[in-house]
């Protein structure tokens, strides 16, 4: 089998340094190695990581290709009804959502949700990730009340997990975007301001963090604050991102 833990540690290090090119090369190398070894679990892991990385890089065809390959791999392995398969459904759904295929995304999210809600503990933070991402696809489809319900579920799960303030911030920003989409910017302004304040409070709790996840979240959230006119806070979040990536 490929050395999964070592590969993921190296991957995290490269992502923390914002070295996406090397990260992709690392994953592609170990995908090839896993295939040559007949390590099917390793193949599935690398496919999942690659679809996520290509999604972040905006590589539509690559991301969708790795998602399709991972779904086919789940079928070949006969594991379509376990948590590992559900994670592949979730990751593939997130790729579909990112590249404007919300209907395909919802179908995959539903498969993941059925397994996660059945097999995971109610406070497992993987449920929050599912609810957040599924909510985004529901907003794209105009199913706002369903999305709001899932965002509230995500916050409830995250409240029971230490150190998940960045993920809470993302949820609040998702809710702000949903409010604007549903009601328009002017009508939704009071609600958006309230949600931006909540997101700011959550992000500021971790202002001294040095992990790659916090850097990624700050970078992701910065543009949202900028869009809503919080330019100073956008600059602050990008500064935090650079500090982590540059090791300062």
**pLDDT band of 141, cuts 50, 70, 90:** very high
- The answer, as to whether pTM is greater than 0.85, is yes
Tell me the CATH class for 12-119.
mainly alpha
Q: Quick check: 187 pLDDT over 80?
A: yes
- Tell how far CA 246 is from the center of its chain: 23
What pLDDT does residue 124 have? Answer: 97
Helix (H) or strand (E) holding 98: helix 83-98
pLDDT of residue 17: 81
Give the residue-averaged pLDDT of 187-210: 97
The closest of 115, 54, 53 to 81, measured between CA atoms, is: 115
Pairwise CA distance, residues 105 & 100, whole Å:
9
**The predicted structure's pLDDT at residue 238:** 97
Higher pLDDT, 18 or 79: 79
Contacts with 101 (C-beta within 8 Å, 6 or more apart), sequence order: none
* Chain centre distance of CA 42: 21
State residue 248's pLDDT score.
62
Q: Output the six-digit token pair for 56.
A: 């972040």
d(CA 90, CA 71) in angstroms, rounded, equals 11
What's the rounded Cα separation, in Å, for the pair 199 and 175? 10
Q: Is residue 197 packed enough to be buried (19+ CB in 10 Å), middle (13-18) or exposed (0-12)?
A: exposed
H/E element, 142: none
Residue 213 has pLDDT above 90, yes or no: no
pLDDT of residue 16: 75
3-state SS class at 137: helix
How do the domains of the chain map onto residue ranges? 12-119
Q: What is the DSSP letter of 136?
A: H
The answer to whether the beta carbons of residues 67 and 91 sit under 8 Å apart is yes
Question: Are 92 and 86 in contact, with CB atoms under 8 Å apart?
Answer: no
């Amino acid at each position: 089998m490929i050395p999964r833990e070592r590969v993921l540690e190296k991957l995290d290090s490269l992502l923390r340094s914002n070295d996406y090119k090397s990260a992709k090369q690392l994953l592609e190398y170990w995908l090839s190695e896993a295939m040559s070894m007949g390590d099917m679990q390793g193949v599935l892991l690398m496919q999942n990581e690659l679809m996520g990385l290509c999604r972040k890089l905006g590589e539509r065809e690559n991301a969708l290709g790795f998602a399709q390959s991972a779904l086919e791999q789940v079928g070949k392995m006969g594991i379509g009804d376990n948590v590992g398969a559900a994670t592949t459904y979730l990751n593939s759904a997130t790729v579909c959502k990112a590249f404007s295929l919300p209907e395909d995304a919802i179908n995959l999210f539903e498969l993941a949700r059925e397994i996660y809600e059945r097999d995971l503990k109610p406070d497992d933070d993987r449920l929050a990730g599912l609810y957040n991402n599924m909510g985004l696809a529901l907003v794209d489809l105009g199913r706002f009340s369903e999305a709001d319900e899932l965002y509230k579920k995500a916050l409830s799960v995250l409240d029971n997990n230490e150190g998940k303030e960045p993920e809470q911030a993302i949820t609040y920003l998702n809710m702000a975007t949903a409010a604007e989409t549903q009601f328009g910017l002017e009508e939704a302004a009071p609600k958006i301001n309230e949600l931006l304040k909540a997101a700011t409070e959550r992000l500021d709790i971790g202002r001294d963090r040095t992990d790659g996840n916090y850097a990624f979240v700050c970078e992701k959230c910065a543009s949202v604050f900028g869009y809503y006119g919080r330019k100073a806070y956008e600059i602050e979040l990008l500064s935090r991102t650079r500090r982590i990536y540059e090791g300062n």
